[in-house]
Structure 1
């Protein structure tokens, strides 16, 4: 087929591809937006909820440790009924429990801040990695979709044109056969038509004189 001719096979295939591309762009935008929102939501939760929560817990548990120490000290200064010294077992257990809870809160706060820093870095990495994809779904692919739509419209306009009759264009016109009409015209004139139709030249004086003499002698 000539390079200048159009081989249009299926406009529907182009249109289906364009629709699939539109759906891909929409799904890609939604996925990127949801992932970015998840990162932001977790960052906000760690920064505004967990860090303040464990900071408050540390202060409260520090107060409990201080109170447990005071209880132990007060009990140690009291005199026992038998040996002059009171039992401080419960106070020591309470102090140990308060210290463990304080250490737990401190560890939680440390882990929360570590995860916050890590998540912030992961968010930066994610945005950097998705920058190219973002350009594709926001600019490149929409531009391609527009080109496909224009292509479909142009092809539909092309197919709407009435194609020329190639057989008629390639077949030369038949010459008009004038022989039958001429033959019919000749037949209608009769057998003497050719003689009557033949032109004669004028007689000369000598020819007319000879013709007159011949008629007299006859």
Structure 2
């Protein structure tokens, strides 16, 4: 009986955790969707305008630095051409800053393309996860409820335990003569038939979530002013 009780508790725990997982998944998907929309909008609209303004100012800086150097060169000192080292350094710095801003402009375009491409892949995986949560999870929970009821009846001695069938849901609902380990066998069948197939979908979704979060953070770090 202890093994049977443990088996019952395991199914009850899985049932409860599936319900929690479904709610957490929906909440997490919705929360991350909001974060994605915010960052994508920032990359596609805020950053282009921001770095366009920075490039314009950088051009002005180069123009001003060139004017300063030109004025310096116009006034010889003791009939000698001035070095104008300070003005030359300022011009070099202004040109480097302009190159930096133009590179950021290009990075904005690349990030916009990358995020849109990754978002397409991400949404595909999330659709599979949401389908599992909204369709498969309630079905499995209902089946687990039936299994739990059958186990409760068996443990209380009101009915004999079912032998494992080809389908675990069928096994949970039929009541042929009891065997000592029938509920452990049903538990194993339940996990194999209904829980294990969820694992690849969950793993794929978690991988996509982790990748998307990393990309969002990297984009924000890269495109900050």
Normalising by structure 1, what TM-score?
Answer: 0.58
1:24 deviation in Å? 2.1
Distance between the aligned counterparts of 1:12 and 1:72, measured in 2? 82
Of Structure 1 and Structure 2, which has the larger fraction of its residues in helix? 2
1:57 to 54, 57, 64: 54
2:113 to 117, 120, 128: 117
1:97 deviation in Å? 0.9
Paired residue for 2:27?
Answer: 30
Instruction: Describe the superposition over 1:180-204 as per-residue Cα deviations: whole angstroms up to 9, x where unpaired.
Output: xxxxxxxxxxxxxxxxxxxxxxxxx
- Structure showing greater Rg: 1
Paired residue for 1:146?
Answer: 142
1:115 deviation in Å? 1.6
1:97 to 79, 82, 93: 93
1:69 to 66, 69, 81: 66
Instruction: Describe the superposition over 1:110-140 as per-residue Cα deviations: whole angstroms up to 9, x where unpaired.
Output: 1122122101110111111232221010122
Count matched residues: 155
Distance between the aligned counterparts of 2:158 and 2:134, measured in 1? 39
The answer to whether the 8 A contact 1:39-1:119 is kept is: no
Distance between the aligned counterparts of 1:13 and 1:87, measured in 2? 83
Distance between the aligned counterparts of 1:86 and 1:124, measured in 2? 60
1:130 maps to 2:126: yes
Question: Is the alpha carbon distance of 1:91 and 1:26 closer, same or farther for their aligned partners in structure 2, counting shifts above 3 Å?
Answer: same
1:1-218 correspondence to structure 2 within 5 Å: 14-78=11-75, 80-83=76-79, 85-149=81-145, 152=148
Normalising by structure 2, what TM-score?
Answer: 0.56
Distance between the aligned counterparts of 1:132 and 1:162, measured in 2? 41
1:71 deviation in Å? 1.6
Distance between the aligned counterparts of 2:144 and 2:152, measured in 1? 12
Distance between the aligned counterparts of 1:45 and 1:144, measured in 2? 40
Distance between the aligned counterparts of 1:162 and 1:116, measured in 2? 64
